[in-house]
Amino acid sequence: MVLCWQRAAKRPWELAKHDNKAQAVAFQYGKHMSLGHKMNSDLQPFVKGSSGDPVSFSLNLAPVVFHRHIVGQESWALQLQQATTIGRQVDYTLLRRTITAGNGVSSAMDLCRYHGNKALEAIECFPPSEARSALENIAGAVTKF
């Protein structure tokens, strides 16, 4: 997915016969946009629908991975066990509450903002224009939760 975004951002510049610097900037913009988009997507179960609605989510999402890393494998195993019912079903509402109470979500948000800011930095070398403004708006949207 990341490579797809990078190439998609770079390809029009190649077709328009822009120099290598412009192509490299487009590549960096695409790379950071794709990583920021992935972080934003991973954050959705933790920032939307937090009203207690049961929402299942992958245990490989960035906030979960950060949480597991922060609390350690033993604590994570215990938290997962506590969120598992007798029928071996995971109580995602409880698990989401546990993850949200830790620093995994804020760490993922920080990383999302980092990539959004790096995408903005990549296009700073271009003069102000409607095209640049559109790219800035896209990068800004990725960091909204």
Domain ranges across the chain: 2-142
Residue 5 pLDDT greater than 70, yes or no: no
The single-letter code of the amino acid at 87 is G
Burial category of 6 from C-beta neighbours within 10 Å (exposed 0-12, middle 13-18, buried 19 and up) = buried
pLDDT of 116 reads 96
CB 120 within 8 A of CB 136: yes
What pLDDT digit, counting tens, does each position of 45-74 carry?
999 765 556 678 999 999 999 999 999 999
Rounded alpha-carbon distances, angstroms, from residue 6 to 18, 24, 27, 84, 125: 16, 10, 5, 40, 18
Residue 11 pLDDT greater than 90, yes or no: no
Q: Can you give the pTM of this predicted structure? A: 0.81
Residue 95 pLDDT greater than 80, yes or no: yes
What pLDDT digit, counting tens, does each position of 26-51 carry?
889 999 999 999 999 999 999 976 55
Residue 15 pLDDT greater than 50, yes or no: no
- Topology annotation, domain 2-142: Farnesyl Diphosphate Synthase (1.10.600)
